[in-house]
Amino acid sequence: MDGKKPRHRLVVFYDGSCESCIRDRERYERWAGEKGSDVGWFDITGREEVLLSLGISPQQALQELHVQTAEGEIYSELDAYILLMKRVPRLRPLAMLIGLPVIRPALSWLYRHWVRNRLEREGRL
């Protein structure tokens, strides 16, 4: 990653220091099967300069999932999850559900709260 367009259709910036994040990645790869072959995974641990070059705050990268498209667009939090989930047939209905205006704000709050608690427990926030 050098600030240029990614070679994969999607690049997922994930916290490789987080055991549950690693398990989530493995689960996604298993469920995506062949459809996951054009998803690149970028461990943000110790990569502050790369994140900053892409306009992503390292602190924000710890607190929200970020995804970069092949066109170089960056999506975060639920938008990133929705983009990833839409690519996997078994997750597509869930992607549509979490994008609903009634569900999205509550789920976003829960997600931020859960991540903040995890980072505080780990002493990383």
Question: How far is the C-alpha of 26 from the C-alpha of 125, rounded, in Å?
Answer: 25
Cα angle for residues 5, 119, 38 (degrees, 5° grid): 25
Per-residue pLDDT of 38-68, as tens digits, reads 899 999 999 999 999 999 999 999 999 999 9
Question: How far is the C-alpha of 81 from the C-alpha of 95, rounded, in Å?
Answer: 7
Cα angle for residues 117, 54, 114 (degrees, 5° grid): 10
Q: Give the pLDDT band of residue 3 (cuts 50, 70, 90).
A: low
Q: What predicted TM-score, i.e. pTM, was given to this entire model?
A: 0.84
Coil, helix or strand for 109?
Answer: helix
Task: Map out the domains of the chain as residue ranges.
Answer: 10-121
Provide the CATH number for the domain formed by 10-121 in this structure.
3.40.30
Per-residue pLDDT of 67-86, as tens digits, reads 999 999 999 999 999 999 99
